[in-house]
Amino acid sequence: MPSTPNPLTKPLSRLALRYAQSPVPRFLRWWGGELLACLPQGWRQRFQVSDRSVQLRIEADGLVVCATRGTVVEELGRLPLEPPEALPGLLNELLDENQRSLRRILLVPAAFVLRRNLHLPAAALENLASVLGFELDRQTPFRADQVRYDSRVLAHRSDARQVPVQLALITRERLAQELARLDGLASTLGAVDVADDDGGRAGFNFLPPEQRARRNHSFAWMMAGMAAFAVFLMWLAMSQMIANRQDAVQRLQADVEAQRAEARAVLSLRDELDSAAAGANFLAVEKASQPSMLLVLDELTRLLPDDTYLERLSASRGELTLAGQSTQAPQLVKLLQQAKSFRGAALSGPIQPDARTGKDRFNLAAKFGAETEGDDAPVARR
């Protein structure tokens, strides 16, 4: 059965998991890369301490020391394993001043580590260490008190219900043997990992938390303070910019209100002018909109037959209305279609015979003005 975990382990691991799955780490990596790109090369190397480490591998001919920067691995040299107590001094002589402060990682051969790929429910990620502790008996031939184990979550979709997890473990006996071969260097290690096929680390840490070397974070705290101070200065600058923009906006709004007042005054004067012009031109417009009755009477006299006479003639709102009697009432529409001063002549009512005069009574309607192409043709012309 797994050992009783620290009371803070569960909430801290849950918080770390939520932080890793949030967009904050990606944003910080992007932001840090953009800031580093603005610095000289020497300062960039100082700020990239977290991407650098010293890797140690125990081989048959000695201890292989490599310096890593990101994915680049550079072999620095090989140190003899005997006597073990001389390793710390030899390693310090091999490393330069900057490399001595880097994190040291021991890579054990892949043959010493057992790996298993598991698919666990997404809810298990919040308490992954405890879940894997219970899975050891079922997935491996070891108990939790016999091994040191670690895990890493593999790539998966954010909405996946089953999450792939890779479990890796090494027996406590084997880990103790590897650490014993390093003697004094074991206390300076920050992690024990397994070597991948390409020589890099797989991403595990089998070293118990209480045995991991504590790093001096004074430089990191100094950088964090400088970053906080820079953020404070940026906040002050942005606050001043916002205040300046607000002042500019207020001035612009005052100018806009003044321009609006002038525009409203101009519109009011224009409306008054239009009203005065419309009142002054009302009679002229009304007179111009009425047809020339002399032309209408002339055309009616010329087009109507001699046996036709009008009883009523009215002109109103662009329409001409005729009423009278004629012996040729059905042919009047065709005759009046030739008129130029009015158009669209058509019967507006039925033709009724008058017994007293022996003629037919008719009612005609037409519109003023000459006929255009866009006007509807009257029914009588079709």
Look up residue 161 and give its DSSP letter.
S
Residue 244 pLDDT > 90: yes
Considering the chain, what percentage of its residues have pLDDT values greater than 70?
84
Q: Would you state the pLDDT for residue 312?
A: 87
Mean pLDDT for 80-87 is 84
Spatial distance between the Cα atoms of 375 and 382, rounded to a whole number of angstroms: 14
With beta carbons less than 8 A apart as the criterion, state whether 186 and 85 touch.
Answer: no
Q: Who has greater pLDDT, 7 or 316? A: 316
Half-sphere exposure for 122 (CA within 13 Å, toward CB): 10
Q: What is the token pair recorded at 287?
A: 């007179």
Q: Would you state the pLDDT for residue 219?
A: 61
Q: Would you state the pLDDT for residue 375?
A: 47
Of the segments 97-111, 232-246, 335-349, 364-378, which one has the largest average pLDDT value?
232-246
Q: What's the pLDDT tens digit per position in 144-191?
A: 888 898 888 888 777 778 888 888 899 999 998 888 888 888 888 888
Q: What's the pLDDT tens digit per position in 258-305?
A: 999 999 999 999 988 888 887 777 766 666 666 677 888 888 888 888
Nearest to 114 by CA among 162, 167, 70: 167
Q: What's the pLDDT tens digit per position in 248-263?
A: 999 999 999 999 999 9
Torsion-angle region of 122 (φ positive above 0: left; ψ -120 to 50: alpha; else: beta) = alpha
